[in-house]
Amino acid sequence: MTTDTVTRYRVYRAPEGIAGEYCGEFDDLADAEEFAATEPAGLEESLWETAAKAGHCGGLTAPPAGGVISEEPIGWYGSEGWHCVVAVHYSTA
């Protein structure tokens, strides 16, 4: 990545290997990994638009708009391995 980008880390709940439930986003990889290990609840993708417009849905937020999401997870976490962390790169230009 160039100096015109910022990398953040998203946590998803993906029991079938598909990043369909957004759990949160962090500036620090270690914080994201620690959060993922707690097996947090996630917001289903079908509710992201509603949550974005309302500010939340059932107390859960939608992922921030924009950013380029890495195709491969950094790792899988939790007792069942259903939570993953992926890098998201945002342009600062």
* CA–CA separation, 9 and 63 (whole Å): 11
Q: Cα dihedral angle (12, 13, 15, 18), rounded to 10 degrees?
A: -30
Bridge partners of residue 9, in order along the sequence: 26, 87
Which residue range forms the structural domain that includes residue 75? 5-91
- Give me the tens of pLDDT residue by residue for the chain, a chain 93 residues long: 557 999 999 999 998 766 579 999 999 999 999 999 999 999 999 999 999 999 999 899 999 989 999 989 999 999 999 999 999 999 988
* CA–CA separation, 62 and 64 (whole Å): 6
Predicted confidence at residue 91, as pLDDT, reads 92
* CA–CA separation, 47 and 81 (whole Å): 23
Q: The pTM is what?
A: 0.89
Domain count, the chain: 1
